[in-house]
Structure 1
Amino acid sequence: MTAVVQETTTMDTHAEEAKWNKISNEEFKIWKKAIPTFYKHISTFKPRLHSNVTNQSRVHKTVVFTDKMFPDVTKGTLTTSVLLALGSDVYEIDVILPIGAHFDSAGNASDVIPQYDAFLKNFEQTKFEPRWKILNDTVEKLYFVNNNGIKFIAVTKGGSVLYFKDEISTAASQYIAESVEAGYSVSVRSDLSSDLSSIVLVTNITKNATEVEKEEATTATNSTTTSIKILDNVDKLGDVKRTIELKDISQCESCKFLKGKDVVVLCDADSTIRFWDLLKPEEEPSLTITDQSEGKLTSFATSTLLPTIFTTGSENGTIKLYDIRLLPQDKDTIDLGKENESLKVIATLSHFDNDSVADIIFSQISACKLISIGESGNVYHWDMSYLFAQDETNGEGNIDDSVVQSECLSFYHTGGFRRVRNVTQKRNTVTSDSIIDDLVCTVDSDDLLTVYIPFTARVETESEESTSNNI
């Protein structure tokens, strides 16, 4: 009898999932309209990693492209590589693309049909060993720099910053975070300035709640302390150039450089954004903005090519694009929840099904492009060319958000969450290449690497076709 009940329950669960998927697919068809979901190129790689980690799917992962470019004209292929951090181990893994991927136009592409067989056979037989190791800590984020003999920088969950060379498996230079007392936890956020000269490191130290406090749903007063450190990345690697100590603020969700390396911005769990002008000695922020209009702010990002542009991402899937030059100069505090308080928003974008914004990455090649990552693992490609062209031709005017959404969402990539249910947090699990436009790599919970280039040409709708035929 028990077996029958279990079988019925399983069938009901599967039927419910099928029904939910059908509804979601129909909603998505309506939502995406003419957004392309075809690929110029897509490939997946499942490396066999030599790791002693148990329950590997729950280990923190982060990935970043290198600058490796090895074209083979005879085989019609291009080999590049990614750095993959799994816990305390860092691997370098080659991936293969069609040779035309690194050309700007199809006219430069090779006529040779790509020959992947030999590469893929070797890939499947290779057991990858970590090339670099971090002792007694976990990698939070990787920065590939290839500058002054340093190949990449690893920021750890404990708040250390480690500098690695190509030929040495341990850190060549480092900033070591101070040890934390028992009963406290640490969270870290960081950013690298666009000129590679500085790193901002934000460390949150929080007192863990006792069992009594958990039962009573209370927390200790002033339980979180936050420090901002600006580290030298040129002369004395890891040397602290400036420290700003903060009290009575919530955990930092994101920190970024703005205007090159002159301004540092923190976004915390209370949806408060603070700006520090590093050219001034003041310890207090020059501007504070509170925005809970879209729920909790979960992400903050800045453009490296347009140094005054920044975005916020919210838990309800809303992304807002701003220009710091449009912020009021006569105020030091703005609360968007109050009457008569507002900011000039360049654009408001949204994820499908209120998918919370886990991360935002600006393109290092095109000033108009950025990608956003949902907590689901889905990746949204945005091209703001349409919006910027409207400003140039029509001046500053209000464009309906739905029009901006449909014109600027250029591609939608479905992440691996439908294949792997027990996904970990998606921050730092997607990377955009700095050489090949639109080339993206994602890493899933089971270490699967997906490398793709979207096909972003739009398909004309029937109404558009008839209009063009009548002209």
Structure 2
Amino acid sequence: MTAVVLENGNVDTLAEEARLNKISNEEFKIWKKAVPTFYQHISTFKPSLQKHVTNQSKIQKTVAFTDKIFPDRTKGTLTTSVLLALGNDIYEIDVILPIGAHLTGQEASCKVEPQYEAFLKTFEQTKFEPKWRVDNNDTVAKLYYINSNDIKFVAVTNNGSVLWFKDEINTAVTSCLAEPQGASTAIKVNSDISNDLSTIVVVTTSTKESVSTSKIKIIDNVEKVGDEKRTILLNDSFVCETCKFLNGKDTIALCNNKSTIKLWDLNNTEDTPFLEFIDNTEGKLTSIGNSKIVSTLFATGSDNGIIKLWDLRSLSHDKKIEIGKDTESIREVALLSHFDEDPVSDIIFSPSSACKFVTVGRSGNVYHWDMEYLFSKGQDVDKDGKNSDDESIISSVLQAECLSFYHTGGFRRLRTDGSKKNTVACNSIIDDLVCTVDADDLLTVYIPFTARIASDSAN
């Protein structure tokens, strides 16, 4: 199909837009042919929030599930809750599900149809006040639900401060504050918490007059909560885009804006990374996700929608690795992709499954991946990090088999800055339960229905 041109030689923009939309729709129909889009459950909640900010739709938001589980068999419902951070305000909001979302087997059989009416009526009439607040009007960038040692959750702010909150106290009870920065200094903050919740890493990149420096802080979250266990200063203009713990709490990985991942061994006292891993073969790297079950498994995402699954053991033999050049024997465990090259904003591994993770596109769409097909075909890695089967699975087949669900919120999820990082959360108790937050504060809570339709999977 060619562009629609008028007699004067100009392109008819409306007709051209319609033509491109038609092409995109046809491509999408082909792309999602065998991907389930039905829901086991989906509900939306629009809380009426007591606002303390202007231009609320442009304020950064982030969500995290709590471990609240309150079943009510008489009503056939299950209540859980999410933490919602809006600017420097943090809310706890109850959401309701059918009781079968949590129970399994015979326990899941409840003859009572879910009765949502009373809950929803109360929800609509409630003016939610912030339960906690961050001082100095700093913006919350990330929430980590803890519920341990009398601490409910940890908040990391946009200036690099780390704050610990209790349930009954509305201000932070412990803090590890960021160093003051000049007014002309731009700050970028990334953070992660180890799988055992014992350690927090915060990476602050400061840029002034085009010169960037990054500082890594390793912070205690158990014995001396808030204490800096270690600080590593990077002076080589390393602009950190994301950071993650790998290999339990022993290794941290930082990805910069030039598709370079550097890894530090926290058991080593040296401040230099033990591995430099470069992969710009499929666009620029934008995100890293780490498995909560398999300590050496992680994924990278790029700005052209490519997701690669890696095993740390296959990368730890050289000081520097550049994919696509002198390391042909080193390759990803799997390669997947977003529709229409949708850039990868976030990667979140399942807290309860070794095979599942979700990726979030800049569009706000959420992709659910289940790698059981890959691992069941003998493509898992051995003790040396090598594929146990020499024959790799065709990428298109892998894509069709492993993309188990596709959630789209439509154009309402679009934001002016294009960032969807930390706007999606996975529940640690209820398998496949996901919550998303939109720019207008709408919370969407859903569980995908992942069984494939026979006629689709057969084609």
TM-score bucket (shorter structure): over 0.9
Q: Within 2, Cα distance between the matches of 1:98 and 1:172? A: 36
Q: Please point out which of 413, 425, 431 is paired with 2:425.
A: 431
**Partners of 2:169 and 2:107 in 1: how far apart?**
41
Q: Which string of whole-angstrom CA distances, capped at 9 and with x for unpartnered residues, describes residues 372-422 of structure 1? A: 000000000000000000117994231111111010000000024346564
**Structure-1 residue corresponding to 2:118:** 118
Q: What is the one-letter code of the residue matched to 1:90?
A: I
User: Alignment partner of 2:454: what SS?
Assistant: coil
Counterpart AA for 1:268: N
1:410 aligns with 2:404: yes
- Give the structure 2 partner of residue 280 of structure 1: 268
For 2:151, give the aligned amino acid. I
In the TM superposition, what are the counterparts of 1:8-407 in structure 2 within 5 Å? Answer: 19-105=19-105, 108-136=108-136, 137-207=138-208, 209=209, 219=210, 223-329=211-317, 331-341=318-328, 343-391=330-378, 395-397=388-390, 398-407=392-401
Q: Distance in 2 between matches of 1:351 and 1:23?
A: 17
1:23 deviation in Å? 3.1
> Is contact 1:312–1:321 with CA below 8 Å preserved after alignment?
yes
Alpha-carbon spacing, 1:349–1:419, altered in 2? closer, same or farther (3 Å): closer
Letter in 2 for 1:441: C
1:457 aligns with 2:456: no
Q: Counterpart of 2:181 in structure 1: which amino acid?
A: V
- Give 1:233's aligned amino acid: N
The letter of the residue matching 1:51 is K
Alignment partner, residue 3 of structure 2: none
Residue 236 of structure 1 aligns to a residue whose secondary structure is: coil
What number of residue pairs does the alignment pair up? 440
| Alpha-carbon offset, residue 13 of structure 1 | 7.3
Aligned to 2:384: none
Q: CA deviation at 1:290?
A: 1.0
Structure 1: distance between partners of 2:56 and 2:418? 11
CA contact (8 A) 2:413 2:439 kept: no
Paired with 1:282 and 1:338, the residues of 2 have a C-alpha distance of 28
Higher helix proportion (structure 1 or 2): 1
Contact 1:420 1:446 (C-alpha < 8 Å) held by counterparts: no
Q: Tell me, in whole angstroms, the C-alpha distance in 2 between the residues paired with 1:175 and 1:151.
A: 16
Q: 1:318 to 1:96 in 2, by over 3 A?
A: same
Task: Give me the whole-angstrom Cα distance separating, in 2, the residues matched to 1:32 and 1:406.
Answer: 8
Cα deviation 1:192-250 (Å, max 9, x = unaligned): 0111110011110110x4xxxxxxxxx4xxx1111111100012111000111111133
1:331-369 superposed Cα distances (whole Å, 9 cap, x missing partner): 101122534555221100000000000000000011100
| CA–CA separation in structure 2 for the residues paired with 1:395 and 1:242 | 38
CA change 1:290–1:110 in 2 (3 A) is: same
Q: CA separation in 2, counterparts of 1:403 and 1:269?
A: 31
Pair 1:462–1:170, CA change in 2 (3 A): closer
Shift of 1:105: 3.9
Q: Which amino acid aligns with 1:402?
A: S
Q: Give the unaligned 5+ runs of structure 1.
A: 1-11, 210-218, 466-471
Deviation of 1:186 (Å):
1.0
Change (3 A) 1:15 1:134: farther
Q: Which runs of 5+ in 2 are unaligned?
A: 1-11, 381-386
User: SS where residue 168 of structure 2 aligns?
Assistant: coil
Q: TM-score, normalised by structure 2?
A: 0.92
Measure how far apart 1:131 and its partner are: 0.3
Greater mean deviation of Cα atoms: 423-432 or 18-27: 18-27
Moved more, 185-194 or 427-436: 185-194
% identical aligned pairs = 62
SS of alignment partner, residue 378 of structure 2: helix
2:31 is paired with a residue whose SS is helix
Structure 1 window deviating more from structure 2 (339-348 vs 34-43): it is 339-348
Counterpart Cα distance in 2 of 1:277 and 1:340: 22
Specify the alignment match of 1:3 in structure 2: none
TM-fit CA distance, 1:19 = 4.8
Paired amino acid for 1:388 = F
CA apart distance, 1:22: 3.7
| C-alpha distance in 2 between matches for 1:315 and 1:352 | 12
TM-aligned CA distance change 1:463 to 1:295, over 3 Å: closer
Change (3 A) 1:346 1:340: closer
After TM superposition, the score normalised by the length of structure 1 is: 0.90
Answer yes or no: is the 8 Å Cα contact 1:417–1:423 preserved in 2. Answer: no
